Chain A
């Protein structure tokens, strides 16, 4: 059963069309990675799914309801969360305040969810009162993911979660992604340097010049020589 279906979506910025009819699917509980060179339209696709950009054609369906063109604050309420690649934290707020903002739309008590996130990222637990702007890149990424998880989403979309992180930190982030997925959250990841990401993924898509290029299981994409040479750096 598919949780997210993107069907022949065309989108872009103003008159500049970036996606020329892209289709992807994410099943409930799956990890799916989307790879492709710079400018392939990966981030554009995420922004379009989340309602930050309005598609000019095609449909987006989430949890059996159409969400094409819905604004971000309504998409959040449907159970989807999004971590942008950059500027994904509130720097002058503390760790705890960042997580609280993730639960802004909730009116009931969310302390249980807060504690779960501190268990998932123990390093944040000791720094609840610290301002995030002063923290390292890896810690910021954890705060950003924690913030997105506060609403216990059905689908978590991560835009380049390991970009600009040291290799050992990237490994930690992917371990956390697997742990989040184990709790039943489907995950869609966009990655430029994607070997680590494909290793943990059920399926993957290769996007190039705004069109679908390949689609297969994570394992097969890693083994595919064409994909390897063209998109995984040999």
Chain B
């Protein structure tokens, strides 16, 4: 098969991994712009969400909550229920992590917060490893047959369509929240000018709690979707994606959640398409090269700062 004929298929894979990167990127971007630091623990927050879903799922199976596959999907009601609870629990857990770690360092520089997030990342990953071990844990054991889209010759699995649809729904929800709710507007105001937000009477501590909850929920969703796509999860799941997520955030314009969506898609697609030309092992290097080029050519990113 020649290289060019593989590209449409790789584009589809790119959109799938781009979806997961976009969700993570929105979370990293919101935390960066409102709370003010690059959160290196974000990947491990994704893994935390994925493992909470795993734990709840096995609990639900032991309670004999049915999990017969929904339509063409490889999972059923039991797994979706576990995922929804895991997203909520991760949001709460991330707020707790903030109270234990980041909130105590709030008056320090962003470098201190960033360094502490690296410590938080290691701690979180090792806690997961302590309870579940370093080995792969399977979400879904059965093999799903990809559907061929007639005419285009593109193969896509129903689970992958599910990943893209969930991403679209969440992007729309986050957009509506930021644009139309009072708390969403207060989050944008705090990102714009933290000092003025306080002078205006905006309760910035509540804004921070909301930011962590949304960031945590998005992290858990991205982690679970990555688990669905890979079929299995490991404690390294999020850490391995973090570089690509940071690249997506820088590419789109750091601190701009809309840029993170564009950046996530561009990184996801470029990484996948690059495998037509260079070995798959170089995927992270591709993300890194894009990030460096963007920082040299246009450090404000594709969408720049929203001013």
Report A's interface with B, CB cutoff 8 A: 50, 52, 72-73, 76-77, 82, 84, 87-93, 97-98, 100-102, 104-105, 131, 133-134, 147, 151
Contact = CB atoms under 8 A, between A and B. Distances in A.
Nearest to A104: B202
Given A87-B193, A87-B195, A92-B188, A101 B200 contact: yes
B307 A92 contact: yes
A101 B185 contact: yes
B192 interface: yes
A90 B307 CA distance: 9
A151 B201 contact: yes
Given A100-B182, A104-B182, A90 B189 contact: yes
23 contacts: A50-B199, A72-B198, A72-B199, A73-B201, A73-B203, A77-B201, A90-B188, A90-B189, A90-B192, A90-B193, A90-B196, A90-B197, A92-B188, A92-B192, A92-B306, A93-B189, A101-B189, A101-B200, A102-B200, A104-B201, A104-B203, A105-B201, A133-B307
A95 to B, nearest CB: 13
A62 B203 CA distance: 22
A82 B198 CA distance: 11
Contacts of B186: 101, 104
B192 A73 contact: no
A131 B306 CA distance: 10
Nearest to A87: B193
A50 B198 CA distance: 11
Contacts of B199: 50, 52, 72, 76, 82, 84
A91 B201 contact: no
B303 to A, nearest CB: 12
Given A87-B193, A91-B192, A76 B185 contact: no
B210 to A, nearest CB: 13
Given A73-B202, A84-B196, A133-B307, 14 more contacts: A52-B199, A76-B200, A84-B199, A87-B195, A91-B192, A92-B188, A93-B185, A93-B192, A98-B189, A101-B200, A101-B202, A104-B201, A104-B203, A131-B307
Interface in B273-297: none
Interface string B7-43: 0000000000000000000000000000000000000
Nearest to B191: A92
Contacts of A133: 307
A160 B203 CA distance: 26
Contacts of B196: 84, 87-90
Interface in B169-202: 182, 185-186, 188-189, 191-193, 195-202
Nearest to A74: B201
Contact of B201 (A76, A89, A100): A76
A40 to B, nearest CB: 22
A157 to B, nearest CB: 10
B144 to A, nearest CB: 43
- Among B193, B196, B306, find the residue whose CB has the most chain A CB atoms closer than 10 A: B196
Nearest to B192: A90
A155 to B, nearest CB: 14
B192 A104 contact: no
Contacts of A87: 193, 195-196
Q: 7 tightest A-B contacts by CB?
A: A76-B201, A133-B307, A90-B192, A105-B201, A92-B306, A90-B189, A104-B202
Contact of B188 (A82, A93, A102, A105): A93
Nearest to B201: A76
B294 to A, nearest CB: 21
A93 B192 CA distance: 8
A15 B136 CA distance: 56
Contacts of A77: 201
Contacts of B307: 91-92, 131, 133-134
Contacts of A90: 188-189, 192-193, 196-197
A48 to B, nearest CB: 13
Contacts of A82: 199
